[in-house]
Amino acid sequence: MSFLRRRKGTDSSKSQNLRCNIVKEDEKNNLYESPRKESYNSKKWSCWDKGLTVNHPVVFVPGIVTGGLELWEGHQCAEGLFRKRLWGGSFGELYKRLEVIREASIKLTDFYMKLIPLCWAQHMSLDNETGLDPPGIRVRPVSGLVAADYFAAGYFVWAVLIANLAQIGYEEKTMYMAAYDWRLSFQNTEVRDQTLSRIKSNIELMVATNGGKKVVVIPHSMGVLYFLHFMKWVEAPPPMGGGGGSEWCAKHIKAVMNIGGPFLGVPKSVSGLFSVEARDIAIARTFAPGFLDKDVFGLQTFQHLMRMTRTWDSTMSMIPKGGETIWGGLDWSPEGSSFNSGAKTLRNNSINNTDQIPNINLANMKNVNYGRIISFGKDVAEAHSSKIERVDLLDSMKADMLANLTNCDIWIEYHDIGDHRIKAVADYKVYTAGSILDLLHFVSPKLMARGGAHFSYGIADNLDDPKYQHYKYWSNPLETKLPDAPDMEIYSMYGVGIPTERAYVYKVTTATDCSIPFQIDTSAEGGSEDSCLKGGVFSADGDETVPVLSAGLMAAKGWRGKTRFNPSGIPTYIREYSHAPPANLLEGRGTQSGAHVDIMGNFALIEDVIRVAAGATGKELGGDHVYSYIFKWAERINLQL
């Protein structure tokens, strides 16, 4: 899964860990007029104010693909890899093994090169039907802080934050990494590993051993959804829930500081599920350059990856939620066309003066229909809806149920659906966030049937309907109520200013029988230089992975004040961090980065986190801190509150 892909190679974690004086005297920096700025330049180990000390215990909830997985039981081909990391960390052993084999047996190359990566993919896959372990294989999450401090060697995730917290006195007893198997659906982590119970018990322990101080939870990326699920789970009665009672969150949680949270899903996950796009496999490339560069999987790499990732239920938690109400219809979208990557002015109260905003980029605005998440052909993407001829998907679904038998050795679900269906998919031309679900149901019925039991993507009409007590609704903020905890605080912290995938232009491939029949039409380019359409992808404002809309809407509107989603009126704060690329190579991934993962090394964000952990409230941090047009967009969304 390419959810968090890596594009820059330089490692900067070390320099950031211990050198605190790298804050550049940059203009943009002045936005953060914090008294702490001088202290960045002070000596190591004492970067933070003396006044900041350990106060609230901290819980980290890692996101998708950043947590490590290790092997507990495997097939013959994985012998000797017991408790070695299959994912994350340094991939040390796996990699070494690969290298050794490569060098030692050049003659046998073909044999081994096929065997080892296949073996790996086999072990990383889950069971196609149950979404749990395949027989004879047990791959389990690594526990402890080491689980997600670095994703790959030198590629930090939590390490910088941990190092900074340690400087003000945090240690093992006051920090906890809630590692879970990110491949499973959320409820299955409890079924298989009792992960949710563990998190509950650990939070209770930390609160008890730290003098009743409530915890500050810091979920990142998919961890945000996971923790939403947790908050519902913990208060739900057994057997489905944790039986903590309706007071649990109020008693144990001070604040939830969501970093880069895809509350309402990410369009990228659609393209991931739909076609495992080439530019999206960067992650796989990161951990094992050999796999892809040396054609280990041969031409069938994508099919292999697709088959593997399609067994992961968790990928379905990030399909866009809320349908057309949130993501826009055929001719309408909350963003309009206002994305302008140069816009970096702080506009905390932008609601009052946004009237002129739609006029900024009038030239580009005309043809961007973000609401059409997938369109077949550039002309279709740009034409008005009345001009598009569409063949109804459901009709063709009934028409043809014949699968063509294939002799491809790589089996994916596409081979079960016939050519007619593929044609039907393309004939429907345009898919919005609502119809995208139909599309996915159409092309991969098994996957969606499995996922549908664990996740839901709609908007609740009546939250008191008893059906919403089922766990499949718990990770969808539009179908759950926040816990009754008026003293808790919810932060939405995310980067802005980076073009983020929002909608796609697709084409049907004609290549071979065995390949994936759909592909992003990379030839589709926008007209002008700063057009939103590049290489078949329409971009909007965001942190490179999660669009602002998804990360900020709940805090900006859905949960703001007392709403039906937030009955107790938990205060919410939006903290945006404007992206500034690293000033030079030495700086590596930058101290002001807003990118989805790199933001974990953003000093401003770290400062916010540390101050909250040391006891500050959202008001004391300065309340909302907004660069994007999120409030304006939120106004346009017609969501019943």
- Please give the C-alpha separations between residue 536 and each of 185, 409, 506, 519, 539, in angstroms, as whole numbers: 31, 30, 7, 10, 10
Residue 620 binding another protein, by CB under 8 A: no
Residue 82 binding another protein, by CB under 8 A: yes
Whose Cβ is closer to another protein: residue 202's or residue 348's?
202
Nearest-approach distance from CB 173 to another protein, in angstroms: 5
Residue 142 binding another protein, by CB under 8 A: yes
- Please give the C-alpha separations between residue 61 and each of 177, 196, 220, 283, 315, in angstroms, as whole numbers: 6, 11, 6, 20, 17
One-character DSSP codes across 78-143: GTT-TT-EEESTT-HHHHHHHHHHHHHTSTTHHHHHHHHHHHHHHHH---TTTSSPPTT-EEEE--
Residue 193 binding another protein, by CB under 8 A: yes
**In this chain, which of 79, 110, 293, 395 binds another protein, going by CB under 8 A?**
79
Residue 130 binding another protein, by CB under 8 A: no
Nearest-approach distance from CB 97 to another protein, in angstroms: 7
Residue 84 binding another protein, by CB under 8 A: yes
Part in contact with another protein (CB under 8 A); list of ranges 134-142, 380-388, 468-476, 591-599: 134-142
Residue 212 binding another protein, by CB under 8 A: no
Residue 57 binding another protein, by CB under 8 A: no
Whose Cβ is closer to another protein: residue 50's or residue 398's?
50
338 and 365 Cβ atoms separated by less than 8 Å:
yes
Q: Within 10 A of 352 (CB to CB), how many other CB atoms are there?
A: 8
Nearest-approach distance from CB 351 to another protein, in angstroms: 44
Quote the CA–CA distance of 556 and 490 in Å, as a whole number.
11
Part in contact with another protein (CB under 8 A); list of ranges 159-167, 442-450, 535-543, 630-638: 159-167
Whose Cβ is closer to another protein: residue 169's or residue 561's?
169
Q: Is 537 helix (H, G, I), strand (E, B) or coil?
A: strand
Known catalytic membership, residue 221: yes
Nearest-approach distance from CB 268 to another protein, in angstroms: 30
Known catalytic membership, residue 596: yes
Part in contact with another protein (CB under 8 A); list of ranges 22-30, 68-76, 329-337, 527-535: 68-76
Residue 299 binding another protein, by CB under 8 A: no
Quote the CA–CA distance of 86 and 69 in Å, as a whole number.
6
Whose Cβ is closer to another protein: residue 242's or residue 552's?
242
Nearest-approach distance from CB 157 to another protein, in angstroms: 14
- Please give the C-alpha separations between residue 432 and each of 327, 422, 486, 553, in angstroms, as whole numbers: 8, 18, 36, 18
495 and 579 Cβ atoms separated by less than 8 Å:
yes
Q: 374: which strand partners?
A: 431, 504
**In this chain, which of 22, 163, 264, 417 binds another protein, going by CB under 8 A?**
163
Residue 568 binding another protein, by CB under 8 A: no
Tokens of 168: 């003000």
- Strands 498-508 and 518-520 come out as antiparallel
**In this chain, which of 17, 258, 271, 301 binds another protein, going by CB under 8 A?**
17
Residue 90 binding another protein, by CB under 8 A: yes
Residue 208 binding another protein, by CB under 8 A: yes
Residue 171 binding another protein, by CB under 8 A: yes
The contact pattern for another protein, residues 18-47, with x = CB under 8 A and - = no contact, is x-------------------------xx--
Q: How many residues bind another protein (CB under 8 A)?
A: 48
Q: Which residues contact 346 (CB under 8 A, 6 or more apart)?
A: 31, 625, 626, 627
Nearest-approach distance from CB 212 to another protein, in angstroms: 13
Residue 166 binding another protein, by CB under 8 A: yes
Residue 110 binding another protein, by CB under 8 A: no
What are the b/e assignments for 204-213, b being 16+ CB within 10 Å? Answer: bebbeebeeb
Residue 202 binding another protein, by CB under 8 A: yes
Residue 183 binding another protein, by CB under 8 A: no
231 and 249 Cβ atoms separated by less than 8 Å:
yes
| Single-letter amino acid, residue 252 | H
Nearest-approach distance from CB 182 to another protein, in angstroms: 15
Q: Which residues contact 406 (CB under 8 A, 6 or more apart)?
A: 415, 513, 514
Whose Cβ is closer to another protein: residue 130's or residue 194's?
194
Residue 93 binding another protein, by CB under 8 A: yes
516 and 414 Cβ atoms separated by less than 8 Å:
yes
Nearest-approach distance from CB 600 to another protein, in angstroms: 16
**In this chain, which of 8, 24, 37, 97 binds another protein, going by CB under 8 A?**
97
Nearest-approach distance from CB 263 to another protein, in angstroms: 29
Whose Cβ is closer to another protein: residue 40's or residue 95's?
95
Nearest-approach distance from CB 54 to another protein, in angstroms: 12
Q: Which residues contact 325 (CB under 8 A, 6 or more apart)?
A: 459, 637, 638, 639
**In this chain, which of 7, 28, 75, 83 binds another protein, going by CB under 8 A?**
83
Closest CA to 25 of 38, 14, 35: 38
Quote the CA–CA distance of 65 and 42 in Å, as a whole number.
35
Q: Which residues contact 352 (CB under 8 A, 6 or more apart)?
A: none
521 and 507 Cβ atoms separated by less than 8 Å:
yes
Whose Cβ is closer to another protein: residue 159's or residue 417's?
159
Nearest-approach distance from CB 167 to another protein, in angstroms: 8
Q: Cβ-count burial of 48 within 10 angstroms (0-12 exposed, 13-18 middle, 19+ buried)?
A: buried
Pick the catalytic residue from 125, 143, 221, 456.
Answer: 221
Quote the CA–CA distance of 630 and 250 in Å, as a whole number.
28
Per DSSP, the chain holds a count of helices (H) and strands (E) of: 24, 17
Residue 344 binding another protein, by CB under 8 A: no
Q: How far apart are the first and last CA of the chain?
A: 34
Residue 73 binding another protein, by CB under 8 A: yes
Pick the catalytic residue from 181, 541, 543, 608.
Answer: 543
CA trace torsion 466, 467, 472, 478 (10° rounding) = -80
318 and 266 Cβ atoms separated by less than 8 Å:
yes
**In this chain, which of 162, 236, 368, 554 binds another protein, going by CB under 8 A?**
162
Residue 245 binding another protein, by CB under 8 A: no
Q: Where on the chain is the footprint of another protein (CB under 8 A)?
A: 14, 17-18, 44-45, 70, 72-73, 79-80, 82-85, 89-90, 92-93, 97, 100-101, 104, 138, 140-146, 149, 162-163, 166-167, 171-173, 193-194, 197-198, 201-202, 204-205, 208-209
Which residues are catalytically annotated? Answer: 221, 543, 596
